[in-house]
Chain A
Amino acid sequence: MNNSEYKGYRGIALDTLKQFGAPVWSDVTIQTHQGEFTGIILPRSETADEYHIVLKLRSGYNIGIAAKNITCITVTGRKEAHYKIPEKEFPYDPKKPRVKLFGTGGTIASRLDYRTGAVIPAFSPGELYGSVPELADLCNLETEKLYGVFSENMGPEQWKGTAEAIGREIEKGVQGIVIGHGTDTMHHTAAILSFMVQNSPVPIVMVGSQRSSDRPSSDAALNLMHSVKAAAESDIAEVMVCMFGPTSDEYGLLHRGTRVRKMHSSYRSTFRTIGDIPLAMVSRTAIRPLRTDYKRRRNDKNVIINTAFEEMVSIVYYYPNMRADILDSLIDNGYKGIVIAGTGLGHVNKPLYPALKRAKDKGIAVYMTVQTLWGYVQMYVYDTGRDMMELGVVPMANMLPEVAYVKLGWALGQTSDLDEVKKIMYTPIAGEITERELSNGYLIFQGGIPEVEEFISKIRK
């Protein structure tokens, strides 16, 4: 008998189902030592154990029954689930702008996966229109699935592919681009796309969701509406991340791709612009810029796509008592670039110096960023900083560690001449280094303090 009829079952559970001829989706009554249960046999997650059979009761609840307790299964019928988001053709309105939505994966659109018991992405314009019909009020949407991966599996190959796809769409004359992406590494992708796609004439908006779209309270639909609105209507022709501002369903923020970072493992309002302020606020009805120094939308197609990337680059997060062998192993393994997230203004301890010298001698590009995330590297203040610069460590101003990582890969992809690399690293392309830091760039409120509490009580978070 075909095992695919017994999706996910193995061991004693599989044997029991086979013994009674009850494949998955059978409507059954199961006799056990415990009593009688009636329902539909569901597939079992591959990561779950081999001892239980999953039954959907008439009430819709699922339960697990130990196979060893089963004395008899009577099959009375069959009901197979067709989990499908209702598809409707996306309507076309010649007066509305053309927006392209690329899918790379993530929870922005998802459905249940019985293999793992988790949610997996699902994506098509029809499905999106079926679940978020409001999108049709904003644009004519075209979609293309580039990848179907969780964001932790996004890497140089996908970055390049996405950049090239963006170039092709701009060539075709779209008025805005939205990229659906898992949130975990969205800021890495946003940063590298800021370098690989330059001089874009249209907005490029990355979006995801923190609560999967299979939940009624999901932020997916609103994030999609915000991002599509930004792509279709905003004047900001940059690579941006569009995600919730507060945790409430109020407005989204457009963050510059090189200054944004995921700052909470689960909050809806997890994305924050670091060391600066966001580009704009976006609601279902309006886009409100918060600054004026952004690149404007244009009518040409003069985009520059540069997808060079050197993969032998690493980030090292410094900690007290770090040993030189950490750096040595990178050097010995042929890495060409290392970004250090140092303490304070950009420091590491003395025992690393010999390794830093080895790196310099081997022609490895070593760049310093700060693990405080906010603020600039300043290696002149203390002697140790000066010593390190002698050893070839290049201070990277207020570039975020992850941004420095992708930019160094991109720079090394173009040249192996370290002076050239340095020139590229220091030439701001998309706001990755800011000349100034304004006083409202750094805003982390300390909860519990009366004035902060008073403020929080008055706004919807």
Chain B
Amino acid sequence: MKLSLRTFVPNTDTSLSDSLLDDYVFQNFDKMTPADYDFIGFRSGLEIHQQLLTSKKLFCRCPAGEYSDEYHAEILRHMRPTLSELGEYDGTALMEFKTRKEIIYHINRNTVCTYEMDDTPPFELNEEALDIALEIGLLYGCSLVDELHISRKQYLDGSIPTGFQRTTIVGVNGSIPYKNRLIPIVQLGLEEDACREVSDYGHTRVYLTDRLGMPLIETVTAPEMRSPQEVAEVNEIFRRLVRSTGKVRTGIGSTRQDVNVSILGGTRIEIKGVPRIPMIPLLTYNEAQRQWNLLRLRRELHRRGITPQTFSYHFDDVTRLLRKTRYTPIRNAIHENKTVQCVVLHQFKGLLRWPTQTDTYFSREISDRVRVIACLTTLPNLIHSDSPSETLSTAEWQSVRKQTNSSNDDTLVLVWGDTKDVETAVQEIVIRALEATMGVPSETRQALSDGTNGFERILPGPDRMYPDTDLPPKKITKDRIERIARLVPEPYWKREEWCKTLNIPSDTLKPLTISPYYSIFEKAVKDWKLNPTTVAVSLIQYPKRLKRKCLSLSNLHRDAIEAILLLYRDGRISKEGIYIMMESVCENGTLEVDFEEEDYLSLLPNEIEKCFQDCKHLPFHHYEQMFRTLMRSVMNRFRGKIDGAIVAEQVHFYLKTLSV
């Protein structure tokens, strides 16, 4: 077998000396302190993907943001690696090619045109999306580029039918404040979103194409976060900051982050597609722990004299030998004419049981590679002699050892499947074991719901970039930047400072400062001199309440809200009237000022008198009871038109006059 090793530059950083690896005990998640993270050299950076709120997609005129599982047609594609602009193949691309996947796309005509299918060249870049990206670039204080160059970023996993993502850099070198320092923003990109995966089994992977092509921005920070908590906090700042523009999508899947983690002596690992910020601390902790344990594993291998130079293995076909085994997965495989190979990792005894993450062992690292690259997706896809129980009988292990001529210090790994897949699997097992002698291999890893992570693919490098020859460079004019600069919102933390002085309730303050309605709030308070809390509650809590009543807020435009607040300012509706009118706008679609120009206040005394006459025969036991009854019936007449406080005052006045 010819072993084609991927380019792997081991981290030769020796500042984490072997004795430290031996002496330091990695703490449980709850016990880790900032000092612990500092000690292991924890570093993390973020790549935040945020969909933009545009009506159409980035390079075609399909509607954005419409999701459906329904589809009308299927397309089948295979991907082949191509050269980068600098004439090199990307490692990830070659890995994906090994998988020999058939990619199937589900096409829904309502959301996808021939562009997404890669049967029509791109249309011009969506200007609306570019404006939003530039606005956020200014918000980050980035150096904006003078000329956009659209690039193709290769994705051979099939998540984009072209095999690449169209992407462009809008700005570089921005920053946001955090604690007493700045978190540098390396770059801000504008790119098209990828497909949603439906399934991935064996050599077939299925994708939905509705999300494909939607505009999103990618914010890349420097690896300046020093603990898992910091990563989550910084991520939260970004989330709120971009939302404060009011021009990004919200809701499930609209924001996804890739988290890069490394420790001293480790490697940058990308944890991909973290859907929720609260998951970040545990995920990054587990990754740090994994790297720590892999470094310890390397130390152990070196102690046994196994280095990249001395590493050795052999493998053998054991199909015949195991055809009568009681171990069902292998027996079934042999029944189906599949092959069983045994890889012997010399001197590896016990190391496949080396812990990596919580309740996870080094064997998982190997099994993951076999699953993803050799497409042996049915688990377990391998067994090994470091965990012999419940698989082969002792006698069977013995005979495998005998046939393969291996010693008791070796670890045997058995893998089964179609001959070609097993051939790839054997290669991958050897590659991963060899990599253990070098340290932590560069990988993209998948976030799992239990806070651990699994192998997704080899970490792609800059070699997967290629200029998009379908679109010319696009100049960003000074006029455009100046126009957009006027739209850039004030950072929300500055808004918070001001709102705090206005005594806005804390549950309303946070959402208010990133709300698209914030400019209305500012106007209402500064220009119309309305009560800040009333306005804040109206803008933040009322829409929430309406949503809970299952009303659609799509009719509640800014104009309607402003008009309602102006009616309140002019005394034509009461505080309660704000909510009632908002509800009516949601229901009817328009703002109907149905009441006539009446002077309700002047009608109030007569109405109190009338209501009193209607209820005075009732047997009231005390004043409060009488007041409440009268108040209720008067308010039925004036709700939303006169402020309740004024009515109460007048009712009190009336009752007191009576008693006099």
For residue B217, give the distance in angstroms from its CB to the closest CB of chain A: 14
B430 within 8 A of A: no
Specify which of B74, B76, B85, B148 is in contact with A63 (CB 8 Å cutoff): B148
B187 within 8 A of A: yes
For residue A290, give the distance in angstroms from its CB to the closest CB of chain B: 21
A118 within 8 A of B: yes
Specify which of A57, A66, A82, A117 is in contact with B147 (CB 8 Å cutoff): A66
Interface size class of A (residues with CB under 8 A): 35 or more
- Inter-chain CA distance A45–B87, complex, in Å, is 18
B121 within 8 A of A: yes
Q: Given that A32-B143, A247-B117 are known contacts, is A83 also in contact with B473, CB under 8 Å in the complex?
A: no
Please give, as numbers and ranges, the residues of chain A lying within 8 Å of B164 by CB-CB distance: 215-216
Residue contact A247 to B119, C-beta cutoff 8 Å: yes
Residue contact A59 to B85, C-beta cutoff 8 Å: no
- Inter-chain CA distance A52–B81, complex, in Å, is 31
B603 within 8 A of A: no
Residue contact B75 to A461, C-beta cutoff 8 Å: yes
Q: Given that A57-B169, A81-B85 are known contacts, is A248 also in contact with B146, CB under 8 Å in the complex?
A: no
Residue contact A34 to B149, C-beta cutoff 8 Å: no
A-B contact count (CB 8 A): 171
9-residue interface stretch from A88-96, A138-146, A452-460: A452-460
Specify which of A34, A36, A212, A268 is in contact with B144 (CB 8 Å cutoff): A34
Residue contact B187 to A61, C-beta cutoff 8 Å: yes
A267 within 8 A of B: yes
Please give, as numbers and ranges, the residues of chain B lying within 8 Å of A111 by CB-CB distance: 83
Please give, as numbers and ranges, the residues of chain A lying within 8 Å of B145 by CB-CB distance: 63-65
Residue contact B173 to A83, C-beta cutoff 8 Å: no
- Could you mark each residue 35-46 of chain A with 1 if its beta carbon is under 8 Å from any beta carbon of chain B, else 0? 111000000010
Residue contact A60 to B462, C-beta cutoff 8 Å: yes
A12 within 8 A of B: no
Residue contact A36 to B151, C-beta cutoff 8 Å: no
Specify which of B82, B84, B172, B469 is in contact with A213 (CB 8 Å cutoff): B82
B49 within 8 A of A: no
- Inter-chain CA distance A58–B86, complex, in Å, is 12
Please give, as numbers and ranges, the residues of chain B lying within 8 Å of A52 by CB-CB distance: 146-147, 473, 475
For residue A276, give the distance in angstroms from its CB to the closest CB of chain B: 24
9-residue interface stretch from B154-162, B536-544, B627-635: B154-162
Please give, as numbers and ranges, the residues of chain A lying within 8 Å of B73 by CB-CB distance: 456-457, 460-461
Specify which of B74, B142, B146 is in contact with A66 (CB 8 Å cutoff): B146
A250 within 8 A of B: yes
A249 within 8 A of B: yes
Please give, as numbers and ranges, the residues of chain B lying within 8 Å of A59 by CB-CB distance: 169, 186-187, 220, 462, 465
Residue contact A64 to B146, C-beta cutoff 8 Å: yes
- Inter-chain CA distance A58–B465, complex, in Å, is 11
Within 8 A of B (CB), among A435-461: 453, 456-457, 460-461
Which chain A residue has the least Cβ–Cβ distance from B473? A64
A56 within 8 A of B: yes
Please give, as numbers and ranges, the residues of chain A lying within 8 Å of B284 by CB-CB distance: none
Residue contact B86 to A83, C-beta cutoff 8 Å: yes
A427 within 8 A of B: no
Residue contact B72 to A248, C-beta cutoff 8 Å: no
Residue contact B143 to A37, C-beta cutoff 8 Å: yes
A69 within 8 A of B: yes
B467 within 8 A of A: yes
- Inter-chain CA distance A314–B156, complex, in Å, is 46
For residue A34, give the distance in angstroms from its CB to the closest CB of chain B: 4
B12 within 8 A of A: no
Please give, as numbers and ranges, the residues of chain B lying within 8 Å of A268 by CB-CB distance: 119
Please give, as numbers and ranges, the residues of chain A lying within 8 Å of B173 by CB-CB distance: 35-37
- Inter-chain CA distance A215–B173, complex, in Å, is 31
Which chain A residue has the least Cβ–Cβ distance from B160? A217
Most chain A Cβ neighbours within 10 Å, of B142, B168, B461, B469: B469
Specify which of B148, B154, B167, B464 is in contact with A64 (CB 8 Å cutoff): B148
Which chain B residue has the least Cβ–Cβ distance from A44? B473
A119 within 8 A of B: yes
B246 within 8 A of A: no
Please give, as numbers and ranges, the residues of chain B lying within 8 Å of A119 by CB-CB distance: 469
Please give, as numbers and ranges, the residues of chain B lying within 8 Å of A49 by CB-CB distance: 475
Could you pull out 9 A-B pairs where Cβ atoms are within 8 angstroms? A32-B143, A35-B172, A52-B146, A64-B473, A65-B145, A215-B152, A217-B161, A249-B78, A457-B73
Interface residues of B (CB under 8 A from A): 72-87, 93, 114, 117-121, 142-149, 151-156, 161-164, 167-169, 172-173, 186-187, 189, 220, 461-467, 469, 472-473, 475
User: Given known contacts A63-B145, A63-B172, A117-B469, what 8 new A-B pairs fall within 8 Å (CB)?
Assistant: A52-B146, A56-B85, A60-B464, A64-B475, A65-B145, A216-B82, A216-B154, A266-B120
Interface residues of A (CB under 8 A from B): 32, 34-37, 45, 47-49, 52, 54, 56-66, 69, 79, 81-85, 111-112, 117-119, 131, 210-218, 221-222, 247-250, 264, 266-268, 453, 456-457, 460-461
**In the complex, the 9 A-B pairs of residues with the closest C-beta atoms, listed nearest first:** A64-B147, A216-B163, A35-B143, A60-B465, A60-B462, A66-B146, A62-B149, A248-B76, A217-B163
